[in-house]
Amino acid sequence: MTTLTIGGGQVLRPDMTVERADILVDSDAGEILAIGDADEVGNGDEYLDASDGLVIPGLINAHTHVAMTLFRGHADDKELDAWLQEDIWPVEAELQADDVRAGALLGIAEMIRSGTTAFADMYFFMDEVADVVADTGIRATLGHGCITVGKDDEQAHDDFKHSLDFARTYDGHADGRVQTMFTPHSLTTVDEKFYEEYIPVARDEGIPIHIHANETVNEVDPIVEEHDQRPLEYADSLDVLADDSFIAHGVHVDEDERDLLAERDTSVIHCPASNMKLASGMAPVQKLLDADVSVGLGTDGAASNNDLDMFDEMRDAAMVGKLATMDASAVPAEAVVRMATEGSASALGIDSGRIEAGANADLAVVDLSGEHLKPPHNLVSHLAYAVRGSDVCHTVCDGAVLMEDRTLQTIDLDDVKDTATERAHALVERAE
Ligand SMILES: N[C@@H](CCSC[C@H]1O[C@@H](n2cnc3c(=O)[nH]cnc32)[C@H](O)[C@@H]1O)C(=O)O
Ligand SMILES: [Zn+2]
């Protein structure tokens, strides 16, 4: 057994208290072995210095399209439908496997550098993303996104079959760091008959389901008109909601839908920056929490955010949660830290997001020396409101050090930035 000590720091525990402790990790099993005083925990084979730092669970970005880093700044200041149809889908039509590889590498570099150790991604060319996850050491839940609008029947069936095949083939890839899901895009971009045919297959095989839902009013209204049901009642009639399912956004959900989510134990992934940028609306996050719905946090793609920094996302979640209710006590610091850790972990069904013996050794160390983090009255408050992704000094995933002193250990950052820039420019040119 090879062990790693993360020593000298303060540690955020699952009950949101902070204590001075060392952490011993089994690097081979990728598990936390012990947390305690240095002499109790003992010396590991390797040592990561966390003095003047706060060790937190690695943050979990539970909804993104990682290769969309290629489109960062390509199309801004438009609402969802126009943004997708006029700007994003035309460039996505030109995507090649190597583009997705380059964009995934850039996004994963950004995530590791901002303390994120796991993400959920629905996109194209997912075998490339799975390979990049394997090479870089991060953890991910991956699905090939399916859309039927604009496709003939045969193309649409091929898309769904491919999605199921991908989920079957790659589940457990990269020593178990890759898990998979079945990902119809949304309730309005996928025709009902495809849900009817393929959801039972995914359910039978125990493949988790993840879709975009209740993101905009434009998406809710046609469903209510056509089915005389709220979108999530319609989704439930198609057997989409279950305890291993999770929906992205959930901006426009009424009280009955919130109760339905709680009853089905289906998680909502809140994406506050994307919801604000596309003017989709303010998700009723405090009401979801009050209804006992499990809420995780995601950035969505970098074209609607425009970064993958989960510290930004926590801050946005707290801010917009207050604004939505006009109540400054809504969505407090502790709630957003829980969303980005245990909430997202529970949605993805992974044993990460908590610093406890037996849990996955997915951790980040925040350097507390910055002037914007003084005085340290309340470190949970700092995590939600004051820490930036660039304050993260070390990142550990599955017991392996992925970043030490801000230097990536598994990624050549300069090369990744250059390649992504070149490919993104060529891609936009092809689409024009
Ligand atoms: N295989 C599908 C692609 C689906 S991937 C997921 C899609 O979600 C899109 N997307 C990104 N952000 C959002 C969002 O906020 N709402 C809805 N779709 C989004 C993204 O651009 C991509 O087209 C196809 O044949 O078109
Ligand atoms: Zn999305």
pLDDT in tens, 358-404: 999 999 999 999 999 999 999 999 999 999 999 999 999 999 999 99
Q: pLDDT tens, 172-227?
A: 999 999 999 999 999 999 999 999 999 999 999 999 999 999 999 999 999 999 99
Tell the residue number behind the tokens 């005083």, with chain if given: 37
Nearest ligand, measured from the Cα of 123:
1
Which of 54, 61, 88, 100 has its CA nearest to residue 341? 61
pLDDT recorded at residue 42: 87
* Atom 4 (ligand 1) nearest CA: 145
Please tell me the pTM assigned to this model.
0.98
pLDDT surpassing 90 at residue 412:
yes
- Which class for 247: exposed (0-12), middle (13-18), buried (19 or more C-beta within 10 A)? buried
Cβ neighbours for 392, distance < 8 A, ≥ 6 positions apart: 113, 114, 115, 364, 365, 366, 367, 403, 406
- At residue 254, the 3 state secondary structure works out as coil
Specify the ligand 1 atom closest to the Cα of 271. 15
Specify the ligand 1 atom closest to the Cα of 151. 25
Q: How far is the CA of 95 from the centre of ligand 1 (A)?
A: 13
Q: DSSP secondary-structure letter at 339?
A: I
Nearest ligand, measured from the Cα of 216:
1
Q: How far is the CA of 63 from the centre of ligand 2 (A)?
A: 6
Specify the ligand 1 atom closest to the Cα of 84. 21
Nearest ligand, measured from the Cα of 303:
1
The bridge status of strand 22-26 relative to strand 3-7 is antiparallel
Q: pLDDT tens, 12-51?
A: 999 999 999 999 999 999 999 999 999 999 899 999 999 9
Task: Find the helix or strand (DSSP H, E) in which 297 lies.
Answer: strand 295-297
List, chain by chain if needed, residues with CB within 6 Å of any ligand 1 atom: 65, 80, 84, 88, 92, 122-124, 145-147, 159, 185, 212, 215, 274, 300-301, 304
pLDDT surpassing 90 at residue 262:
yes
pLDDT recorded at residue 422: 98
Report the alpha-carbon distance of residue 184 to residue 182 in Å, rounded: 7
Q: What is the ipTM of this complex?
A: 0.94
pLDDT surpassing 90 at residue 427:
yes
Report the alpha-carbon distance of residue 398 to residue 345 in Å, rounded: 14
Specify the ligand 1 atom closest to the Cα of 144. 1
**∠ CA 208-209-214 to the nearest 5 degrees?**
150
Q: How far is the CA of 218 from the centre of ligand 1 (A)?
A: 16
Q: pLDDT tens, 314-352?
A: 999 999 999 999 999 999 999 999 999 999 999 999 999
Cβ neighbours for 171, distance < 8 A, ≥ 6 positions apart: 178, 179, 180, 207
Nearest ligand, measured from the Cα of 91:
1
Q: Average pLDDT in the 155-172 region?
A: 98
| Torsion angle in degrees (nearest 10) through CA of 127, 165, 198, 158 | 80
Length of the chain: 432
Q: How far is the CA of 71 from the centre of ligand 1 (A)?
A: 13
Q: How far is the CA of 4 from the centre of ligand 1 (A)?
A: 39
Kindly state the tokens that stand for 430.
């092809």
pLDDT surpassing 90 at residue 127:
yes
Q: pLDDT tens, 267-320?
A: 999 999 999 999 999 999 999 999 999 999 999 999 999 999 999 999 999 999
Q: DSSP secondary-structure letter at 30?
A: T
The bridge status of strand 178-180 relative to strand 183-184 is unpaired
Nearest ligand, measured from the Cα of 186:
1
Specify the ligand 1 atom closest to the Cα of 300. 12
* Atom 22 (ligand 1) nearest CA: 123
The answer to whether the beta carbons of residues 237 and 149 sit under 8 Å apart is: no
- Distance between terminal CA atoms of the chain? 54
* Atom 8 (ligand 1) nearest CA: 185
pLDDT recorded at residue 17: 98
126-136 and 97-113 helices, crossing angle to 10°: 40
Nearest 5°: phi and psi at 97? -55, -40
pLDDT recorded at residue 208: 98
**Pocket residue to mutate for ligand 1, from 127, 152, 210, 212, most atoms within 8 A of Cβ:** 212
Rounded alpha-carbon distances, angstroms, from residue 177 to 203, 204, 331? 22, 23, 31
Report the alpha-carbon distance of residue 425 to residue 91 in Å, rounded: 11
